[in-house]
Each structure stands twice: as structure tokens, then as C-alpha cells.
Structure 1
């Protein structure tokens, strides 16, 4: 993170908390004008530090009350199996994230379902029928605490 000053870090924290803030709002909050704030945001984007703006969707408000983290170990490892699995699993709408990981499992999936019965249906009819799936392990999320991320402890010095 070389080249970032305290103002850049403050902008990153603000956008991390609420990506809908305007350059004018950000500028006022960090003590600079709107054009200067926009230039800094643009520079952070050009440098690849800001990779886009996202909206957080409350899945529970949409009727998806269960989140499950599913570890998946593929039965047959190989480049073709990985690509086939990734292509198939990303087509399942309830699968929110697909992470290729190192460890006991090959993949970690974040899945949302309406309830446990719905998750069982997704698991049996969609996940277990994917190419190369061997072993799975499900962990149901009980609660989630949002953390500020690595910028929470950075002071800009």
C-alpha cells in the first residue's frame, strides 16, 4: 500500500462502509473538495485498489433465511475436473461465492437457501450431481459479524 496517505485511507474506509457515498460527501467528510475527492477515487480505481462498487443485498429480507458454507472435495482431481466443476457450480443461483482453497477441501461455497429443507434440495439435486463431486461438509451459519477489514488497523503512516 505504498503511496497512500491518511486521506486515501479515510476514503477507502468510507467507501468500504458505504459505496453509495458521492465524491462530494466523501470530500466533506475528509476535508477536501468534491473535485479532489473524485480525483483520488479515480486514482485508487486506476491503481486497482478500488475494484468496483458493490451493493450488499439482505438475503434474509428476500426470504433466504439460511446460509451454509459447504466444503467440497472433488473425487477426481485434474484441470478438466476443476474447470467443469467451476463452470457448473457458478450456474447455480443459490451459490453466492465459489472459493478454490487449499486444505481438506478443494472448494468452499457460500450457499443461501430459504430454509434447511430448501438447502437439502439444493444439495441433493444440484450440488451432489455436479461433475467430480466427492465429499462435502456443510456448516450452517448461525450469525455473522461484519468487520472493517485490513484498513481498520492502518493509520496511514
Structure 2
């Protein structure tokens, strides 16, 4: 069963769903509402200059583009990580889960995305790509060595 904020709130005695919870970030709609209110409530004898509005819009546009670029970078990182996992399929892979645990070696037979992170199936158990310390091609030659 997937537990999300709505499901969790039923069990924690949280606020009723009708109550508005505060947002952590202001969005585009919030900015536009503030801009409209600023225009409505400005002093007619000393109105805000149009250059100030243009500067505010430029700042907001820059902020929105930065947010979009950040989202695009997250997607690109996820795709690159997945491709790294694909490249390890059908290869002998050694993973090190903890410093106290012995390394585990086996053939990577499956790749699955779990919570946005690619995991390799080795000897029937899924491991994160960050746990890979050695990769060996099936013909016996060393392909790469990520950590030692």
C-alpha cells in the first residue's frame, strides 16, 4: 500500500482536508496575484513606474526558467543513471553495501527504478548503482572499476 500525505493524515489526527496547508514555495499564480493586487492598490497620484513592473516580470521569468532547468537536470540525471545501469546488465558486478559487510559479486540480470533510483538485481537482491565497486565483462576482461 502506498502511503501518501493524505493517507498518512488519516492516521496522525492531522488537520481536516478542507483546511488549507501553507505552501513552502510561492508559485507563478502567487506572483501574478501579488502583481495584480499591487496594481489595484497603488497610489493614483504616485503610480509605480512601468519599468518596475517590467523588472519584476523579468525576475519572475528568470526564476521560472531556473526552476524549469532544475527539473530538466533532474530528469537528465535520472536518465543517465538508468543508462549506466543498462550498461551493467549481463556483466559480473561487485557491490559493497556497507563497510562492515563483505562485497557481493554476481551477474546483473535486471534493472528497476525504485523511488527514482535505478537498482540492479544481483543474486536475487536489488542493489543501488552507487554500491557498485567493480565491473567485469562476461568474457573475463575488466571493463571498469568504479571504486576500491
With the length of structure 2 as denominator, give the TM-score of the two structures.
Answer: 0.22
With the length of structure 1 as denominator, give the TM-score of the two structures.
Answer: 0.21
Larger radius of gyration: 2
Q: Which is bigger in relative contact order (C-alpha 8 A, separation at least 6)? A: 1
